[in-house]
Structure 1
Amino acid sequence: MPPRNLRATSAEPVPEKVPAPAESGTPWPTGHRFADRTRAKHATVHALLPAGHSRRSIQRQLSMTYRTVHRLADAARPEDLFQGQWQNRRTKLDDFKPYLHERWAEGCTNAWTLWKEIKTHGYTGGYGAVRAHLQPFRTSPTAPAARPSSPRTVTSWILTHPDTLRESERLKLKVVLVGCPELDALTGHVRVFGKMLTQLQGDQLPQWIKAVRADDLPSLHTFVNGLERDLAAVTAGLTLPWSSGVVEGHVNRIKMIKRQMYGRAGFDLLRKRVLLA
């Protein structure tokens, strides 16, 4: 029976792990630790396979898991292993890229100045990352477009009080609103309505409705039509200090207890849970 430790046998020695040269046009430059390490492993595995070593044998020789050896052996090029890994990792600069793109479009092309600006907004990374990100802009006519935020994310920013938004979220929202005047107008109306709702300023509702009617915002016009159908009740809700929120909360709690106990217990236990919980 052959020994299990193949390193002690007379098999061919493991080829030296020399990183394979990067192919032209690949987004993976030599010198990056992850890329070079993956290229070296890929070259080693593909050198051992033609020499007659099995994948289990390679696993033991290189002290890798079988799954890793399997992935390396099945990949024709090491670049095939990179997709969806290193290039998609988030960095400290991601939240500030829209601001950098906007300032670059305004004519500020000094990387040191832009680094100082985003540091005042909460960036904690180094100057080198900013300089490296801006370097392609100098050789291309326009800055590459940043990944757009989803509609749900933008909606959450608009519905959140400006003072509670993080600085990076404020910067991103500013970029979105600059590119869409209609959304900018909608944001202003939403925030005014939120102020009326939280500060009980129902007397300003007619002026708010008039301002909304003056803008071409069909969806908000539909919301206003619903308010006007019961204007007196809406005005009272935005003005008076009383609220049925506490009662609604208790009703919701009782319904939840009832649904949890349905088919499992009787009325006596339900009564105790409602009164004593």
Structure 2
Amino acid sequence: MPVSGDTLLRMIRSAPVPDFTAPTIVGIDDWAWRRGQRYGTIICDLERNRVLDLLPDRNADSVARWLECWPGIKVIARDRAGLYADGARRGAPGAIQVADRWHLLNSLGKSLRRAVGRHRGAVKVAVQIMTSALAAKAYISASPAPGLAQLRAEHKAARGECWREISDLHAQGTPTSRIARQVGMSQRTVQRWLSAGGEPEHIRPRKPSSVLAPFEDWLEEQWLAGCKVGEHLWRELKKQGYTGSRVTVARWAAHRRARAKAGVPAQPRLAWKAPSRRRCAWYLSQDLNQIEDEDRLFLDHLFAQAPELRTAADLAKQFVSLLSGDDPAGLDTWLEQAATSELASFANGMKRDVDAVRAAITTRWTTSPVEGQISRVKAIKRQMYGRAGLPLLRQRVLLAA
């Protein structure tokens, strides 16, 4: 039986919302109508993992009014937004508020990034030290590696012995196919060696490396004659038909100058890539045994330049350990220590919400299931191409629950 779209919408809007058991443990979070511009609030039953309601705004009054309708609520898991804390306090004054652990760790990460930003100079110095160490480690002499000449000589001697064996067998009238099997070569290689009358020499043709290749001999003569200024060399080269850029000649002069100074071919410029502020903050929160040796060495140099960051790193790891345990006994001591460190702003914010933070350590409730339901809300909203108003969206979400 054909049904119009308007009829389907009318049926959805008029369908009764299923009854649900009075909740005792709920999670509250915001969701975006349009990111950065307009937000609503979602409330979920954490015990049954179902959506209880969608509110049209992100407002403490709306949350308080909704909670007042359900006096049996005992636990409220929320993020650290002050408006939800205020709404929960007014709407369910007897309920335990639990700060979400992920949001706590996220706030810690932001605080660490700000701390790293305040010590940009120390990061720069540590990177320079790492670059110098990397250059010293990667320095390669222009002379062949020890033993390389011996290996080449041994290889040449083995090829010579192979040629003598091929020559003797060929003189005895042995077919090339049998010679190839006996010496372990392909028949084509044996035939090529016999045609050449001996072991072919491996001579690699010298390929011009740049547009300067035809002029390198002249440049070398000018350099030895005392002309070492790239600008002057470039002007003289143009008279001889050089069509390349001045930068190429200047680069050749700089390379030749480095060779003359060191007595060896100049090595390429090496630089240790500086980690981003976010990456540095991540290092500070990690066990040093779990990161790469180079990164650990960078941290040692960074801590030597900014001891305050070492203190912040130790405090960050202590807080992560507190949050992953179930004993809040060390929280007050941690807050006192952090209040005089680079994490002071983070610690001061937690002091204003210390009961909810303590509950995050002692209880298992988080807003993670709420995040999953938010993803489902977004999927339903996108199915309607973002054109559904709150009544239709709310109806579809609650009916699907």
Report the TM range for the smaller structure's normalisation. Answer: 0.3 to 0.5
Which protein has the bigger helix share?
1
If the length of structure 2 is used for normalisation, what is the TM-score?
Answer: 0.32
State the structure with more CA Rg: 2
Higher relative contact order (CA 8 A, sep 6+): 2
